[in-house]
């Protein structure tokens, strides 16, 4: 079962990688929800804490890497949402 955990961790983490790199590079977050990314980022952080508590290297590794990818995207989504709100207020 440990091997299954490591394979699952690898696949789910690295499946996220191409989209994360594209979003970080282009800063295009038009189709991303701020609420979803906030929940995702906090959830990943809690999974990381759970993995640390359980001393489960598959959970620790996968969630540490995913958090390093998700957190910058969350910050970009947040910044873009704030900029859109400011622009909408200016247009009034």
The structure's pTM equals: 0.84
* Predicted local distance difference test score (pLDDT) of residue 75: 95
pLDDT tens digits, residue range 1-51? 788 988 988 898 888 899 899 999 999 998 899 999 999 999 999 999 999
State how far the Cα of 70 lies from the Cα of 91, in Å rounded to an integer: 31
> How many structural domains is the chain composed of?
1
Expressed as residue numbers, the domain containing 25 is 2-90
Q: Which residue has the tokens 């929940």?
A: 39
pLDDT at 77: 94
- Cα(62)–Cα(17) distance, integer angstroms: 12
pLDDT band at 64 (very low <50, low <70, confident <90, very high): very high
Confidence of residue 67 (pLDDT cuts 50, 70, 90): very high
Q: What is the CATH number of the domain that holds 25?
A: 1.20.1280.290
């Amino acid at each position: 079962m440990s091997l299954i955990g490591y394979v699952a961790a690898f696949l789910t983490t690295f499946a996220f990688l191409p989209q994360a790199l594209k979003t970080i590079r282009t800063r295009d977050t038009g189709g991303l929800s701020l609420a979803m990314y906030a929940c995702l980022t906090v959830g990943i952080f809690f999974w990381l804490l759970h993995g640390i508590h359980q001393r489960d290297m598959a959970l620790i590794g996968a969630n540490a890497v995913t958090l390093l990818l998700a957190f910058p995207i969350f910050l970009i989504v947040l910044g873009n949402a704030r900029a859109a709100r400011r622009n909408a207020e200016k247009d009034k």
